[in-house]
């Protein structure tokens, strides 16, 4: 049974919490590049790990992420003037650059060196794949930016969207490693379920790795074959899902790198970076965003009961939620648990094997940081910074075959 102390440890992410300190040791998505598209455009509010920040792009195109409240007397810099390579507070004109240096204090005497004694809270940023990443941990421990596949992928072969979740990040990412739910929640044709074309009780395995964990799901395909999917969990809260249920990856098959980023203890930004080996059309990109509004809120949400169609639920789909992508159905399942689910009330079974393994990885990592030790997947050696082949894997094997025999695994993927 998951204890109350363990639940608190994994779900609280603010400053000075164990999980918050762990999260701050990694490069995390803070916002999308499109939110601050042009130099000197209006700044945007960013709430991340319980901290209120403001993001802006300066006159030279550099991105800054600052504490929202002016170091002078706390006025919000969201209302500031973005001009001449700095963000200027509208109250007394204090001006900050992207590194948090105080450039100007115009209300002070002309000969004052007051500004040289100050430094505003600022977090380093890096733009990759249409996402602004930031590092919020100790500067002396800042890791290299991990060289995942998408770091060097052409722009036309990937697209990114984010969406808001009204629940703790852990409820979201646990769904990525809950293989059995896909048979039910994501069944959009009840006839398939009735014919048992999809195995609702897969064999599950989990194996820890230097980047986190890999989750293995094995479903029977008749008497002589099995279908295997292997999904990596990447520290601190990232995942890769294999995409459509096909025997192997084809050129037009997509794969998704997913980021579950805590806004605070009770809300989450969920980023989906979708990739494939051929370009996406404009129509495909538009469709991929059709389930969120201009503010990245989901069209189907708790306020409208996820637009659930009860007649459709009776006649066609298991959930009755006509989703553009499965994540919309996942949102109903995870948000309806409440802001932070009390895991002491769970009754876990075999189908939760990989969830239990995921929690163990996170608990061990959080406690490592508490005890002054390094958590997993902190990249410091440039010679070891190549994760371009870190991907999900899927394939068909003989019924008695081992998942370790998948060709992609032999080539070093996952």
pLDDT bin (cut points 50, 70, 90) of residue 312 is very high
What is the predicted pLDDT for the residue at 328? 96
What is the predicted pLDDT for the residue at 412? 59
- If asked whether residues 130 and 154 sit together in one domain, one would say no
Q: Is residue 13 part of a domain?
A: no
* Percentage of the chain lying above the pLDDT 70 cut: 95
Contacts of 38 (CB under 8 A, 6+ apart): 57
SS3 of residue 176 by DSSP: helix
Q: Is residue 9 part of a domain?
A: no
| Residue at which a domain ends, from 141, 162, 180 | 141
- Among residues 206, 141, 215, the alpha carbon closest in space to that of 378 is found at 141
- If asked whether residues 130 and 166 sit together in one domain, one would say no
- If asked whether residues 254 and 354 sit together in one domain, one would say yes
Q: Is residue 336 part of a domain?
A: yes
Write out pLDDT tens, residues 327-367. Answer: 999 999 999 999 999 999 999 999 999 999 999 999 999 99
Mean pLDDT of 276-305: 95
Report the C-alpha gap between 88 and 105 in whole angstroms: 10
Q: Is residue 228 part of a domain?
A: yes
* Percentage of the chain lying above the pLDDT 90 cut: 82
- Total tally of structural domains belonging to the chain: 2
Instruction: Evaluate the omega torsion of the peptide bond into residue 236 and state whether it is cis, within 30 degrees of 0.
Output: yes
Q: Is 207 exposed, middle or buried (0-12, 13-18, 19+ CB in 10 A)?
A: middle
Instruction: Tell me the average pLDDT of the chain.
Output: 93
Report the C-alpha gap between 346 and 170 in whole angstroms: 15
Q: Is residue 11 part of a domain?
A: no
- If asked whether residues 38 and 126 sit together in one domain, one would say yes
| Residue at which a domain ends, from 107, 141, 175 | 141
- If asked whether residues 368 and 352 sit together in one domain, one would say yes
Integer angstrom CA distances of residue 129 from 18, 90, 134, 154, 221: 29, 33, 14, 9, 37
Q: Is residue 5 part of a domain?
A: no
Tokens of 371: 């005890």
Integer angstrom CA distances of residue 207 from 25, 61, 215, 408: 23, 43, 7, 17
- If asked whether residues 243 and 338 sit together in one domain, one would say yes
Instruction: Evaluate the omega torsion of the peptide bond into residue 378 and state whether it is cis, within 30 degrees of 0.
Output: no
Q: Is residue 14 part of a domain?
A: no
Within the chain, how many helices (H) and strands (E) appear?
A: 10, 19
Give me the CATH number covering residue 317: 3.90.380.10
Report the C-alpha gap between 350 and 200 in whole angstroms: 12
Q: Which residue has the higher pLDDT, 372 or 407?
A: 372
Q: Is residue 17 part of a domain?
A: no
- If asked whether residues 301 and 154 sit together in one domain, one would say yes
What is the predicted pLDDT for the residue at 74? 98
Write out pLDDT tens, residues 216-275. Answer: 999 888 788 888 999 999 999 999 988 666 655 565 678 899 999 999 999 999 999 999
Write out pLDDT tens, residues 379-392. Answer: 999 999 999 999 99
Task: Indicate the DSSP class of residue 237.
Answer: T
| Residue at which a domain ends, from 141, 167, 195 | 141
Task: Indicate the DSSP class of residue 298.
Answer: B
Mean pLDDT of 124-141: 98
What is the predicted pLDDT for the residue at 399? 83
- If asked whether residues 131 and 161 sit together in one domain, one would say no
Boundaries of domain holding 114: 27-141
- If asked whether residues 112 and 252 sit together in one domain, one would say no
- If asked whether residues 257 and 314 sit together in one domain, one would say yes
Give me the CATH number covering residue 61: 2.102.10.10
- Among residues 262, 234, 273, 263, the alpha carbon closest in space to that of 378 is found at 234
- If asked whether residues 42 and 159 sit together in one domain, one would say no
What is the predicted pLDDT for the residue at 310? 97
Write out pLDDT tens, residues 33-73. Answer: 999 999 999 999 999 999 999 999 999 999 999 999 999 99
- If asked whether residues 87 and 212 sit together in one domain, one would say no
């Amino acid at each position: 049974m998951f204890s109350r102390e363990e639940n608190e440890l994994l779900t609280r992410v603010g400053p000075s919490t164990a999980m918050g300190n762990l999260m701050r040791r990694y490069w995390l998505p803070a916002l999308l590049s499109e939110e601050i598209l042009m130099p000197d455009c209006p700044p945007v509010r960013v709430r991340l790990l319980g901290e209120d920040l403001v993001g802006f792009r300066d006159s030279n195109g550099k991105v800054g992420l600052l504490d929202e409240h002016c170091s002078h007397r706390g006025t919000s810099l969201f209302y500031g003037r973005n001009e001449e390579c700095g963000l200027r507070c509208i109250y007394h004109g204090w001006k900050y650059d992207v590194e948090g240096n105080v450039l100007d204090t115009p209300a002070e005497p002309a000969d004052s060196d007051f500004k040289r004694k100050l430094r505003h809270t600022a977090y380093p940023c890096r733009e990759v794949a249409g996402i602004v990443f930031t590092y919020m941990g100790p500067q002396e421990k800042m890791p290299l930016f991990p060289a995942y596949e998408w770091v060097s992928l052409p722009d036309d072969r990937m697209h990114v969207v984010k969406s808001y979740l009204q629940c703790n990040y852990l409820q979201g990412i646990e769904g990525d490693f809950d293989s059995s739910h896909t048979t039910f929640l994501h069944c959009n044709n009840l006839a398939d379920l009735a014919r048992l074309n999809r195995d609702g009780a897969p064999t599950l395995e989990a194996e820890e790795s230097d980047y986190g964990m890999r989750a293995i799901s094995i479903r029977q395909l008749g008497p002589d074959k099995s279908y295997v999917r292997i999904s990596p969990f990447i520290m601190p809260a990232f995942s890769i899902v294999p995409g459509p249920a096909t025997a192997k990856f084809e050129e037009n098959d997509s794969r998704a790198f997913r980021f579950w980023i805590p806004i605070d203890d009770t809300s989450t930004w969920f980023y989906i970076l979708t990739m494939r080996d051929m370009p996406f059309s404009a129509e495909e990109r538009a469709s991929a965003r059709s389930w969120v509004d201009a503010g990245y809120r989901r069209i189907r949400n708790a306020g409208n009961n996820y637009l659930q169609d009860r007649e459709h639920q009776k006649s066609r789909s298991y959930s009755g939620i006509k989703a553009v992508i499965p994540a919309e159905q996942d949102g109903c399942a995870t948000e309806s648990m409440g802001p932070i689910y009390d895991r002491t009330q769970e009754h876990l079974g075999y189908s939760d094997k990989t969830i239990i393994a995921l929690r163990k990885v996170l608990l061990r990592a959080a406690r490592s940081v508490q005890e002054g030790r390094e958590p997993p997947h902190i990249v410091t050696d440039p010679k070891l910074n190549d994760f371009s082949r870190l991907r999900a894997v899927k394939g068909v094997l003989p019924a008695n075959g081992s998942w370790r025999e998948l060709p992609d695994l032999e080539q070093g993927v996952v």
